[in-house]
Chains A and B, each alone.
Chain A
Amino acid sequence: MSIVKQFMAKIREINTRYAKPKVEMSPVIKLSLAGLRVYLLVLVLLLLYKFITVLQVAR
């Protein structure tokens, strides 16, 4: 149990350490990161769709 607690504490520490991005958030960077979020969201939705259709076929 203590190992899990230690691990969670480490993750919290990492999240705190890297809470604030160091790179200057210029419009280009903001746009790139927003584009990346949209891209990943679309890909995740596609994966979900594929998963559901595979399940339906399996039934």
Chain B
Amino acid sequence: MDFFSTFYYRTKQVWKSTKMYLAIAGPGLVVMIADNDAGGITTYAATGAQYGYHLIWFLLLLIPIAYYVQEMTVRLGAVTKRGHAEAIFESFGAFWGWFSLLDLMIVDWLTLVTEFVGMTAALKIFGVPALLTVVGVIGLMGIIVLNGRYWTWEKIALGFCLLNLVYVPAAFMVNPSVKDIVGNGFIPNLPGGLSNELFFLLMANIGTTIAPWMLFFQQSSVVDKGLHEKDIKMGKADTLLGAVITVFVAIFIVVVTGTLLKGVPIDDASTAAVMLMKMNHLTGTLLAIGLFDAGLLGAICISLASSWAFGEIFGWAHSLNTNVKQAPWFYASYFFTLITAGVVPLIPGAPLVLITLFVQVIAVTLLPAALVFLILLLNDKKTMGDYVNTPTQNWITGGIVVGIIILSTLYGVSALFPNLLK
């Protein structure tokens, strides 16, 4: 009898926690999986093609790094009920506020261009013209946001997150050697020593895992969803699950290209998909579908991050729970960003390589600033109360932030001056 009552009690508890998690799940999962955007897929594909399974251990290290950075936005959003841009304006004044907002606007727009480049390249493989892809994507994204409910938007976004898992069956299809994956991938090593190429790729992996827009997006998303202090625990669990999934998806991509394309130079994921199609048609098709989905998911989140930030500062209604009549400027800025970015890949001879370089460099300028503000905000006892950073959290996040600042600066400088670090 005792066993059954304990079992019943435990099951009920687990079910209650699961229901509570399902109600709160969303911002962490969406932001983390959207982090595997078109640029991210290219980076992981290139990592596998260039170094095989040897850098899987490095990707695993990114789980705690991504989690500790992003969970701070959950606490900040749930406690202050303000987005990241508004928090910076209010706490550090107009100068730093404008700097963060303009930097976010530029980097978001440029990143959005790269998402459209990825999506058009992915569908071009299936014979879809670029113009049709751009118009279709803008139309689809319009339908997703114009339903007037955050909940619906989030569930649709989670659906696209599920599609991100296509890389899992793709990895199984290429029959990788588990022994090689474990032997080469799980023991920390730097294949061929720390060369300029390896350093650049490691930095690109960090850059795709922690991006400035993610901080702004998740905090605004937490506020729009209406999470409170009591939801922080589940919000953190949501973020951790998202961090684990995003890194595991990255590992599966590395396994695919590390198995079939090892030693082949990869410049973009669509080229990798075309090459894979020649060897294993279904795997290549899945990579192309995944690339389109990654670009779409990235675009969904990045365009919203900017619109939320503008709404917060300009005092416009800025919630997905409002319709166009209630929040015209919010939706206008959303579509303006989307359409102007979507047009760029359609321009013949557009400087797409230069844009990609600019994305890296400008993201580097915002990331350290955004991370410094994040830590300082989380240490403001007056605002955060019981949810202020503990000394342990400060050591961990401080170490991560200092490390990222040093490495991302080196990355930015090496992107500008490729011969400097040789």
Contact = CB atoms under 8 A, between A and B. Distances in A.
B96 interface: yes
B365 interface: yes
B91 interface: yes
A43 B314 CA distance: 29
Contacts of B364: 43
B380 A23 contact: yes
A19 B94 contact: yes
B382 interface: yes
B385 to A, nearest CB: 15
Interface residues on A, range: 20 to 34
B413 A46 contact: yes
A50 B91 CA distance: 34
Interface in A5-55: 10, 14-15, 18-24, 29, 32-33, 35-36, 39-40, 43, 46-47, 50
Contact of B368 (A10, A21, A23, A36): A36
B235 interface: no
A19 B93 contact: yes
A45 to B, nearest CB: 11
Nearest to B381: A24
B382 A33 contact: no
A36 B372 CA distance: 8
Contact of B365 (A18, A21, A22, A40): A40
B90 A22 contact: yes
A47 B93 contact: no
B92 interface: yes
Determine chain B's interface SS by DSSP, over half rule.
Answer: helix
Contacts of B96: 33
B22 interface: no
Interface string B346-371: 00000000000000010011001100
Contacts of A18: 89-90, 93-94, 97
Interface in B202-232: none
Interface string B311-326: 0011100000000000
A34 B280 CA distance: 55
Interface of B: 89-94, 96-97, 99, 313-315, 361, 364-365, 368-369, 372, 376-377, 380, 382-383, 405, 409, 412-413, 416-417
6 contacts: A15-B94, A21-B91, A36-B368, A39-B368, A40-B365, A46-B416
Interface of A: 10, 14-15, 18-24, 29, 32-33, 35-36, 39-40, 43, 46-47, 50
Top 4 closest pairs, chain A to chain B, by CB: A21-B93, A23-B91, A18-B94, A18-B89
